[in-house]
Each structure stands twice: as structure tokens, then as C-alpha cells.
Amino acid sequence: MKKIFKVFACLFLFTAIVNAQQISQKSCSAVCLNRTIQLDGSSDKETITVDVSEDTGKMHLNINSKVESGYLTVELYDPKGNKKGNFSIESQSNSSKTKEQVCGQMQKYIEDPIKGKWSVVLVPKKVVGDVSICTSLYDE
């Protein structure tokens, strides 16, 4: 009889734990956006916006750039206009016989991001290359 009681007690405890875990688990979904911007030698400033909604609990930005020539600055701004990160890269090869590709990357993980339009600003100076922006927005 004691064995049966122990078995039922263990089953009851196991079932209670599983049910409690299922209740405590939150539903989360993610939206991932990928953009690639080709830079063709111009020096025109580009602004790419990322819309963050009220439901967004976390944001992850991964910005990769490749520069074959020129100088590039990448800046990240929140909706209030505060700079949240930046980096610059440039090609240093001036020889027509030498080809160089310089790569730069910035990753930003932001919990509870400010709602609104975030801006990734590209400031090129005669840049030939490309920039890819991968944005992941998680709601909770």
C-alpha cells in the first residue's frame, strides 16, 4: 500500500510541476528583417528606419558592412535622436593593382526598446561596398 501511495504521490507531483511550467511559459514571437544597401561611390547620406511597436520587448540589430574603397560611418539613433552606437571603416589601399575589402560589424541587443522609429544612418565618403542590416524584433 505504501508503494502505491508513493507512486501516486510522485505522479501527482510530476503532473503539478508540468502544469505549472506550461502556465508560466510566455508566448513570444519574432519578426526578422534583412536589408542590403549597395553603395556605388557616392557620398550621399542614407537613413534606414526600423519601426518598433508597443508590443516589442527586445530588439537585436546586426549591421555588417564591406568597403572596397572610401570611408564609411554607420550610426544608430533611438526615436528621441540619441546616438546608441556607431563605427567607421575605410579602405586604405590606394594602389590600382591592389584590391582590399574591409569589413565592419556592430551588434546591438536592447531590452525594452523605446517605441517609434529607430534610425540607422549611413554616412559614406566615396564608398564602394555594401551594408546589410538584420533586425530582429521580439514581442512578449
List domains and CATH numbers for the chain.
27-139 (2.60.120.260)
The C-alpha cell that represents 120 in the structure block: 540607422
pLDDT tens, per residue, the chain with 140 residues: 455 554 454 445 455 554 544 444 556 788 889 999 999 998 999 999 999 998 899 999 999 999 999 999 999 999 999 999 999 999 887 766 778 899 999 999 999 999 999 999 999 999 999 999 999 999 86
- Whole-number Å distance between alpha carbons of 8 and 56: 43
Q: Which three cell numbers stand for residue 71?
A: 570611408
**Could you give the CA distance from residue 11 to residue 13 in angstroms, rounded to a whole number?**
5
